[in-house]
Amino acid sequence: MTRSLRVLAISVAIGAQALTVTGSALADPTADRSAAAEDLFQRAKVLLAKREFAPACPMLLESYRLDPAGGTLQNLAVCYEEIGKWASAYARFQELRAISKAGERPRLDRIKLAEEHIAKLEPRISRVVIVMPEAIAGAEVTLDGVKYLQPSWSAGIAVDPGTHEIVVAAPGKQPFRTSVTTANDGVQQQVRVPALADEEKAAPSAAEVQPAERAAFSSSERPPPTNSLRTTGFVVGAAGLGVMVAGGVFGILTATTNGAGKDKCSAAKNPGASRADFDPVSGRCFEGSSAWNDANATKDDARTFANVANVLVPVGAVALGVGVYLVLRKDSPSGTANTASVSSVRVSPSLGGASIEGRF
């Protein structure tokens, strides 16, 4: 009983201190990502077994994004191949071969599998070649939302069968937009880009025409900036108040437990105890008696509660003070919140109570 109470008290003190210092515990996102990836992978495998490849491929892709495992990559490449996305499957098998070779223990089975599929897919890949009429400084080609630079244009951009959106843009030029549809098996299609027209200059805005009027607005007419420290102040203050309340509870436990310890050594308070443990004159327990040992054990609990209260109350008071300060502090004269004025706050227990470190 006594040992359990001590462990409970110390655990509460440590938990309250951590709450005040950090505000909240941060969960490790790695485990959540791995669990989500594994769930998607297992559900996708069920679909693959049913040869339902279309819904399985996006699930495998998301699983691989969350946790890039070799087995997921292999299944994703096979899935792409089954639905006729030759270029996507080819790229994934290339990636599978590379990571299988780079491991501490190369996966020879995956290397062999990847090379077999690469050889089978390569002649089936279609490519789009971008032909520019002239060199255009800073030109960029975006195909299906992905940007490509000049080396990819002439060599050809590998694409899956289907329709693809192409946008050619350059600084100071109007963009050129078109689409191209590629067949199922290895074809090479050229997209000739016409000369890009110069970008039309927009009419000057009212702010640009009349800069003097824009400058005429005084700082008092601008909406006041929000003070992001207020929210932090409320959180820290609330945590501090909670810690102070916990400290008060342990203070009450100190008083009641200490009183109970004194009562255990009084014959008048223990009518059912052995009379051999008590002095018949004073009514106090003899040193070394069972009543004396029980009384000291209870007083030890009281001292433990007192130590916890001595930590919690000052720590909570400091946190509450910091929270009030953050809530009530005013903006700097320039009209912006001086967020640098409180760069760090750390509260920690010390001999006789607690200490606070930081910059204000």
Query: What pLDDT does 121 receive?
Result: 93
pLDDT tens column, 328-349: 776 544 444 444 444 455 555 5
Cβ contact 307:350 at 8 Å: no
Interval 118-130 mean pLDDT: 92
Cβ contact 78:90 at 8 Å: no
The residue ranking higher by pLDDT, 132 or 203, is 132
Interval 274-299 mean pLDDT: 73
- Label each residue of the chain as H, E or C: CHHHHHHHHHHHHHHHHHHHHHCCCCCCHHHHHHHHHHHHHHHHHHHHHCCCHHHHHHHHHHHHHHCCCHHHHHHHHHHHHHCCCHHHHHHHHHHHHHHHHHCCCCCHHHHHHHHHHHHHHHHHCEEEEEECCCCCCCCEEEECCEEECHHHHHHCEEECCEEEEEEEECCCECCEEEEEEECCCCCEEEEECCCCCECCCCCCCHHHHCHHHHHCCCHHHCCCCCCCHHHHHHHHHHHHHHHHHHHHHHHHHHHHHHHHHHHHCECCCCCCCCHHHECCCCCEECCCCHHHHHHHHHHHHHHHHHHHHHHHHHHHHHHHHHHHHHHHCCCCCCCCCCHHHCCEEEEEEECCEEEEEEEC
Percentage of residues of the chain with pLDDT beyond 70:
74
Query: What pLDDT does 28 receive?
Result: 62
Cβ contact 126:183 at 8 Å: yes
Quick one: which of 321, 316, 247 has its CA closest to 20?
A: 316
Buried-state track 64-100, b at ≥16 Cβ within 10 A, e below 16: bebbebeebbbbbbbbbbeeebbbbbbbbbebbbebb
Is residue 49 scored above 50 in pLDDT?
Answer: yes
37 burial type by CB count under 10 A (0-12 exposed, 13-18 middle, 19+ buried): buried
Using alpha carbons, list the distances in angstroms from residue 289 to 115, 270, 273, 275, 284: 84, 14, 11, 11, 11
Is residue 81 scored above 90 in pLDDT?
Answer: yes
Is residue 217 scored above 50 in pLDDT?
Answer: no
Residues belonging to the chain: 360
Map out the domains of the chain as residue ranges.
23-123, 126-192, 229-359
Query: What pLDDT does 23 receive?
Result: 46
Cβ contact 161:86 at 8 Å: yes
The Cα diameter of the chain in Å comes to 117
Is residue 188 scored above 50 in pLDDT?
Answer: yes
Q: What kind of fold does domain 23-123 have according to CATH?
A: 1.25.40
Mean pLDDT of the chain: 77
pLDDT confidence of 163, banded at 50, 70, 90?
very high
Cα 64-120-100 angle, rounded to 5 deg? 40
Domain 126-192 sits in CATH at: 2.60.40
pLDDT confidence of 243, banded at 50, 70, 90?
confident
pLDDT confidence of 351, banded at 50, 70, 90?
very low
Topology match between the domains 23-123 and 126-192: no
Interval 274-302 mean pLDDT: 73
Query: What pLDDT does 40 receive?
Result: 95
Cβ contact 117:81 at 8 Å: yes
Interval 100-121 mean pLDDT: 92
Is residue 126 scored above 60 in pLDDT?
Answer: yes
| Lowest-confidence pick of 81-95, 135-149, 188-202, 321-335 | 321-335
Q: Hey, which of 93-97, 211-215, 301-305, 314-318 has the most confident mean pLDDT?
A: 93-97
Percentage of residues of the chain with pLDDT beyond 90:
32
Rg (CA), the chain: 37
